[in-house]
Amino acid sequence: MASVSRAPEFDAAVESFGAYSRRLEQHFVANSVGEDEVEKRRAILLSAVGASTFSLLEDLIAPAAVGDKTFKELVKILVDHFEPQQSAIVSRFRFHSCTRDAGESVSSFSARLRKLAKPCKFQPGQLDEMLRDRLVCGIQHERLQSRLLSEPRLTLDTALEIAQAHESAAASAAELSGRSESSAVIGRVDGTPRRMVNDSRPALVNDSRRALVNDSRRALVNDSRPALVNDSRRALNCYACGAVGHTRAACRSRAESQRVRLLEEEEQPEPSVTPGTSQSGAAPHNDAYRPLSGSDARSGVF
């Protein structure tokens, strides 16, 4: 009896159990395991599902044992657990809301639409029409969408053909444009100056000219300020000390002389005052003490 190769192990994080069961059927075909060999098929399934899935299966069929179920019964139990039936209304809402993602190819978008259409329970003759409409409405490209809508008898195959051709042409044009820009920047190898250098040179020249003009203006202003100050100071005359270069209010000599005079006045002692005399020692200016002159005596004025 020919030996059977090891079956692929199931990983719930990678694929659905329905897809795994279909892959397992191909394993049976490759190893010549017939449908009548139900016990052999069941044994291969239980050994390939993995430890966690095997433990889950025992919990799902308890109190029965896994040996009491046939291969098809075990597959149905696991499919119902990992892929519960979805509402057709919710599935169709997801299908009709699907749009192409940024950077997603037309082929990938078409495959995603077909996956979403599986639980929608569309009629066999209705599926292609729904896929075509969703492809046109969700393509997310205005020019391509206008091109598809201009077709009088647009089918799903025609829509895919036009969309893929447009995608390929856009990629080729972008590649050619990128090469043209790179060649223009690098320039020829015959000694011609590079375009990038030529484009940046006027900006550098203008910047250097502005810097020189600004520096010249600063130097002119800085050099002329002392001259202006000196000229204005030469026009000033002090009427207190007679010097040139400041005013009488700002004269230091005048302020110093005033301060010295005040100090001298404070240091002088006050003279003693006697009756009938003033502070200066002279007779007071009073007519009662004025001596009589001859004319006064003759006139009788006292």
**Residue 73 belongs to what domain range?**
17-82
Mean of the per-residue pLDDT values of the chain: 77
Domains contained in the chain, number: 2
> What value does the CA radius of gyration of the chain take, rounded to a whole number of Å?
57
Closest by Cα among 89, 90, 87, 139 to 113: 139
Q: Residue 131, class by beta-carbon neighbours within 10 Å (0-12 exposed, 13-18 middle, 19+ buried)?
A: buried
Q: Is residue 182 part of a domain?
A: no
Contact 57, 77 (CB under 8 A): yes
Using the 3D structure, point to which of 60, 82, 104 is the last residue of a domain.
Answer: 82
Q: Given this model, what pLDDT does residue 219 score? A: 53
Which pLDDT band, with edges at 50, 70 and 90, does 85 fall under? confident
Mean pLDDT of the 259-285 span? 54
Query: In this structure, is the dihedral angle defined by the CA atoms of residues 60, 61, 62 and 66, taken in order, positive or negative?
Result: negative
- Which residues, other chains included, contact 2 with Cβ-Cβ below 8 Å and sequence gap of 6+? 31, 32
Looking from the CA of 5 toward its CB, the CA atoms found within 13 Å total 9
d(CA 298, CA 217): 94
Asked whether residue 124 falls in the same domain as residue 167, the answer is yes
- Model confidence pLDDT, tens digit, residues 21-61: 999 999 999 988 888 888 999 999 999 998 999 999 999 99
Asked whether residue 121 falls in the same domain as residue 77, the answer is no
Q: Is residue 269 part of a domain?
A: no
Q: Has residue 201 got a pLDDT over 90?
A: no
Q: State which of 5-9, 86-90, 152-156 shows the largest mean pLDDT.
A: 152-156
* Phi-psi region at 131: left, alpha or beta (left = phi > 0; alpha = psi -120 to 50): alpha
Q: Has residue 91 got a pLDDT over 70?
A: yes
Asked whether residue 23 falls in the same domain as residue 54, the answer is yes
Q: Given this model, what pLDDT does residue 278 score? A: 46
Using the 3D structure, point to which of 177, 204, 237 is the last residue of a domain.
Answer: 177
Q: Is residue 34 part of a domain?
A: yes
Q: Is residue 301 part of a domain?
A: no
Using the 3D structure, point to which of 82, 112, 137 is the last residue of a domain.
Answer: 82
Which percentage of the chain shows pLDDT scores above 70?
60
Q: Has residue 260 got a pLDDT over 80?
A: no
SS3 of residue 237 by DSSP: strand
Q: Is residue 243 part of a domain?
A: no
Q: Is residue 225 part of a domain?
A: no
Please, what is the angle between helix 106-117 and helix 156-186, to 10°?
150
Asked whether residue 117 falls in the same domain as residue 160, the answer is yes
- Model confidence pLDDT, tens digit, residues 217-257: 565 455 545 554 455 555 566 766 777 776 666 676 766 66
- Model confidence pLDDT, tens digit, residues 149-200: 999 999 999 999 999 999 999 999 988 888 765 555 555 555 554 544 455 5
Q: Is residue 36 part of a domain?
A: yes
Q: Has residue 62 got a pLDDT over 50?
A: yes
Which pLDDT band, with edges at 50, 70 and 90, does 89 fall under? very high
**CATH number of the domain that 150 lies in?**
1.10.1200
Q: What are phi and psi of 195, to 5 degrees?
A: -65, -35
Asked whether residue 22 falls in the same domain as residue 78, the answer is yes
Query: In this structure, is the dihedral angle defined by the CA atoms of residues 8, 9, 14 and 20, taken in order, positive or negative?
Result: positive
Q: Is residue 235 part of a domain?
A: no
Asked whether residue 56 falls in the same domain as residue 114, the answer is no
Asked whether residue 168 falls in the same domain as residue 97, the answer is yes
Contact 128, 186 (CB under 8 A): no
Asked whether residue 132 falls in the same domain as residue 67, the answer is no
Q: Has residue 77 got a pLDDT over 60?
A: yes
Q: Given this model, what pLDDT does residue 183 score? A: 58
Contact 156, 131 (CB under 8 A): yes
Asked whether residue 103 falls in the same domain as residue 170, the answer is yes
